[in-house]
Structure 1
Amino acid sequence: MRRFSLWLRGKPIVADSMLTFALLVVEILGVAAAENKIAYLAIGVFIPLPLVFRRVYPRAVAVVSLLLSFTAIAVQYVVGEREASHITLFSLGIMLYTLVAYVGRREGVWFAAALVADSVLSYIAIAGTATTDLVFTAMFYALCWTLAEFIGARHAYDTEVEARLAVADYDKERRAHDAVSTERTRIARELHDVVAHAVSVIIVQADGAKYALRRDPDAAEQALATIAGTGREALRELRKTVALLRTEHAPDSLPQHGTAGIARVVEMMRGAGLAVDLELTGELDDIAPEVSLGVHRIVQESLTNTLRHAGPHPKAWVRVRRRDDDVTIDITDSGGVPLDAPAVRIKGGGMGLVGMRERIAVLGGTLDAGRAPEGAWRVHATIPLDPGFAE
């Protein structure tokens, strides 16, 4: 029954046709009391027919219903039918309800005024119309109006709820899309930092091993050992990253790299042929995991870039310092960056090296990257100890 009710709600013509048919059946059952049965049936059959389209074309149906009512009064007056009453005239009250509930009060007022004129005309033209009939008709129309007000308020409430649900669904979809986009960016950033660093070291060492294979077998062997170690470290990092990405984890479950992680990166880069001077100041092992990871990745990416671009005998100076409210990272290399390389300045979500820019933006810090006055390339970053995760 509930399914049938919901089905009817979406097909107003079907439901209104059933209502019209019910009125016609009642009208036909009352034909026995009519003096002129043909005139009675002619009037009774046509009056309710417009109700079939009352919710599809309410204004037009209201006008047609009034015209049919006035016509019925005229026919009754002409044929002298005084006693018989038409049950189908209840369709006028139904139309009053329809206008108020589905169109508006202004149309309802105009239709109600027309109904008053119709009732007065019926009282004058048909001598059999009693005062009690007028009172009953007025009460019936008042009931129709009151019911329409209630149903109209309910429709307005349902419409508002549907609108709010639509907005909520849109916001939910938008937030889900933003979350997916953010997660994809995070995955890409983490995988890039792990893979790019390891592959850069492997390529440099492989090139060195190729040239040293015949002239200096020991150097070639050392390069191959570095390649193997770098590959194992990269595989370990990848497994750790993928394991984290497969679960819904909070920032506290991120790996805590700390001083040991930075030292491993530096040691790996030294093994790859990059001379690194490391200085760590302050307690770096108890900072938030996301800050620790940010420091680790910035040092890793900067040293990787130095190894790739800072000439045949590169050197880098790494200074990481914890202060009261933030951690500063300063990496300077020995030069070798092409003279036409643009300097960039990154403030949170500004422009610059994509990976470090995005990480700094998320952590709410600042990063400067560019050529130092003496020709070296310098990266300086500041990360707050309480990042707050910028939007």
Structure 2
Amino acid sequence: MRRFSLWLRGKPFVADSMLATILFVLEGLSAPNSQAPWLFVLLGLALCVPIAFRRRHPVLAAATILGLSIMTTVISSWIGDDTVTHPGQLGLAVMLYTLVAYVGRKPAAFYLVGLAVDSALAIWLLHQDIGTTAAFITLFYALSWITAEFLGARRLYDEEVAARLAVAEYDRDRRAEEAVAGERTRIARELHDVVAHAVSVMVVQADGASYAVRRNPDGAERALGNIASTGRQALAELRRTVALLRTEQTPAEMPQHGTAGVAKVVDMMRDAGLRVELEMTGELDDIRPALSLGIHRVVQESLTNVLRHAGTSPRARVRVRRRDEDVLVEITDNGRGSSQFTQGSGNGLVGMRERVAVLQGNLETGREPDGSWRVRAELPLHPDD
């Protein structure tokens, strides 16, 4: 029974047609008491049909059944059916309920005036008792109005709740999609930082080893050792990155950031043949992990770009200074030379900008008047929530 009720709730036209059918059956049962049974049945059918369309065309259905009710009263008076009532006229109360619940109070109030005219005409033409009939009709229509107010308010509340749930579900899905996109961006940035840095160093070392293998075997051997060391470090950091993605717990062996991490990157770049001057000022080991990682990656990406694009004798200067409200990271090189490496894709600078933006910092990159290239990042110690 409950399933059937839920099924009907989703098919209003079927439910209204069933109500119209029930009223028409009652019309058929009352027809033998009429002076003209076939005419009675035809009038009853006309009264019941608009009820099936009460929610599809409420105003038209209400006006139609009111007009038919007035016509039925006149015809009943003409053929002498003073004592036989049409059950289909219960549809007047149904239409009053429909207008209040689905259309509005103002159209329902006008309709109520029409119902008063219809009731007065029935009392006059069918010689009904004024007091009893008026009291019954008033109570009946008042009950229809009150029921419509209550159920209409409940329906509007249910619709509002459903709308809010739909909005909440959409917002949840959107947030989930944004979280997935953000996570993919973060993973891509992390992997790019690790792989691009390691591969660039390994390419430089491999190229140097290929030139030195005959003339300077010791130098070639050192370069090959640096390649192996860089590859192992890149592989270890990749494993740590994947471990961070797989679990919420902090792995026992975390990447080294802070002053030690920056110094390690500089040492690795020096081993690759890049002359680097490092200057660190202020306490950098007690800052939040995200900011420490950001500093590490900006230095790493900038020095990798210098190694790839700054010419045959690249030099760089790294300054990391903690100030009152932020940390200043500045990397400058000696200007672009005739590098044998191809231009990069630009993803390094894009990833650097994204990382700095996430940290609510400012990033400036560009060529200086003396031809050198400068990367300057200002990363706030305490970003806005």
TM-score after normalising by structure 1: 0.89
1:254–1:290: 8 Å Cα contact kept in structure 2?
A: no
Q: Deviations over 1:110-141 (max 9, x none)?
A: 21111111111111211255531232112111
Amino acid at match of 2:261: G
State how far apart, in whole Å, the 2-side matches of 1:296 and 1:128 are: 96
- Within 5 A, what are the aligned runs for 1:304-383? 304-336=304-336, 353-383=349-379
State how far apart, in whole Å, the 2-side matches of 1:153 and 1:139 are: 21
2:280–2:321: 8 Å Cα contact kept in structure 1?
A: yes
Identity, in percent, stands at 58
Query: Equivalent residue for 1:117?
Result: 117
The count of aligned residue pairs is: 376
Unaligned runs of 5+ in 2: 339-346
Deviation at 1:248, TM superposition (A): 4.8
Query: Equivalent residue for 2:196?
Result: 196
Amino acid at match of 2:359: L
Query: Equivalent residue for 1:231?
Result: 231
Query: Closer, same or farther in 2 for the Cα pair 1:363/1:337, shift >3 Å?
Result: farther
State how far apart, in whole Å, the 1-side matches of 2:31 and 2:175 are: 66
Moved over 6 A (4+): none
Q: Deviations over 1:161-208 (max 9, x none)?
A: 233333323322332222222222211111111111011111111111
What is the SS of the residue equivalent to 1:84?
coil
Q: Deviations over 1:247-296 (max 9, x none)?
A: 4579xx97451222122211111111112222222222221111110111
Amino acid at match of 2:242: V
What is the SS of the residue equivalent to 1:353?
helix
State how far apart, in whole Å, the 2-side matches of 1:382 and 1:288 are: 15
State how far apart, in whole Å, the 2-side matches of 1:256 and 1:386 are: 22
1:292 partnered with 2:288: no
- Within 5 A, what are the aligned runs for 1:59-70? 59-70=59-70
State how far apart, in whole Å, the 2-side matches of 1:365 and 1:38 are: 88
Pick which of 166-175 and 11-20 moved more.
Answer: 166-175
State how far apart, in whole Å, the 2-side matches of 1:46 and 1:129 are: 27
State how far apart, in whole Å, the 1-side matches of 2:316 and 2:79 are: 113
Pick which of 278-287 and 223-232 moved more.
Answer: 278-287
Q: Deviations over 1:62-115 (max 9, x none)?
A: 122122212211221221121112222111111111111111112212211111
State how far apart, in whole Å, the 2-side matches of 1:25 and 1:157 are: 35
Amino acid at match of 1:292: S
What is the SS of the residue equivalent to 2:377?
strand
What is the SS of the residue equivalent to 1:284?
coil
State how far apart, in whole Å, the 2-side matches of 1:317 and 1:113 are: 90
What is the alpha-carbon root mean square deviation over aligned residues? 2.4
State how far apart, in whole Å, the 1-side matches of 2:356 and 2:76 are: 88
Amino acid at match of 1:24: F
Unaligned runs of 5+ in 1: 339-350
1:337–1:377: 8 Å Cα contact kept in structure 2?
A: no
Deviation at 1:380, TM superposition (A): 2.3
What is the SS of the residue equivalent to 1:318?
strand
Pick which of 20-29 and 105-114 moved more.
Answer: 20-29
Amino acid at match of 2:364: D
Query: Closer, same or farther in 2 for the Cα pair 1:281/1:130, shift >3 Å?
Result: closer
State how far apart, in whole Å, the 2-side matches of 1:79 and 1:381 are: 98
Query: Closer, same or farther in 2 for the Cα pair 1:222/1:98, shift >3 Å?
Result: same
Query: Closer, same or farther in 2 for the Cα pair 1:64/1:322, shift >3 Å?
Result: same
Query: Closer, same or farther in 2 for the Cα pair 1:104/1:79, shift >3 Å?
Result: same
Deviation at 1:388, TM superposition (A): 4.3
Amino acid at match of 1:305: N
What is the SS of the residue equivalent to 2:171?
helix
1:331–1:379: 8 Å Cα contact kept in structure 2?
A: yes
TM-score after normalising by structure 2: 0.90
Query: Closer, same or farther in 2 for the Cα pair 1:313/1:361, shift >3 Å?
Result: same
1:42 partnered with 2:45: no
Query: Equivalent residue for 2:167?
Result: 167
2:258–2:292: 8 Å Cα contact kept in structure 1?
A: yes
What is the SS of the residue equivalent to 1:191?
helix
Q: Deviations over 1:213-263 (max 9, x none)?
A: 12221111111111111111111111111211234579xx97451222122
